[in-house]
Amino acid sequence: MDILIAEDERDIAIMCQIILERRGHRVIITGDGEECLKAYILSRDKGDKNSKAYDVLILDYRMPKMDGLQVARLIAQMNPLQRVIIITAYNAEVIENVVKLDQLTTNILQKPFSTTQLLELVEGKRY
């Protein structure tokens, strides 16, 4: 799978990258919402407009410049079927309600999370 991660906490981003790459996935890391959106648009521009730029996006809920929910909303306008996982240390129930209102193809992963939880969501076992 091709995976784009937007996470401003470098240790968390690297941990996710290591876990996912050990499973054979290709991972790109960005440090904030704006950088993630630019990487997503650049990737889409290189391929077929109807194809997915990434199999899944992993977005931190709170980041500098643009938060994960803002990024998810903008990407949903470009590709409403894009899979998104929002990771957060905040109350997941509150965020789930916001996501449901926007009808995004989104899952929530509460911090701290285990390797198993991450892999189950990314690889679709709980999707």
pLDDT at 80: 84
Among the listed residues 24, 10, 12, the one whose alpha carbon sits nearest the alpha carbon of residue 85: 12
C-alpha 92/C-alpha 15 separation (Å) is 21
- Structure-model confidence comparison of residues 16 and 110, the more confident one: 16
pLDDT band at 127 (very low <50, low <70, confident <90, very high): very low
For residue 47, pLDDT over 70 is answered with no
SS (H, E, C) the chain: CEEEEECCCHHHHHHHHHHHHHCCCEEEEECCHHHHHHHHHHHHHHCCCCCCCCCEEEEECCCCCCCHHHHHHHHHHHCCCCCEEEEECCCHHHHHHHHHHHCCCEEEEECCCCHHHHHHHHCCCCC
Q: What are 79-97's pLDDT values in tens digits?
A: 888 899 999 888 766 677 6
Sketch out the chain's domains with CATH numbers: 2-122 (3.40.50.2300)
For residue 2, pLDDT over 70 is answered with yes
Percent of the chain predicted with pLDDT > 90:
54
- Give the predicted TM-score (pTM) of the model: 0.87
Among the listed residues 2, 23, 9, 10, the one whose alpha carbon sits nearest the alpha carbon of residue 118: 23
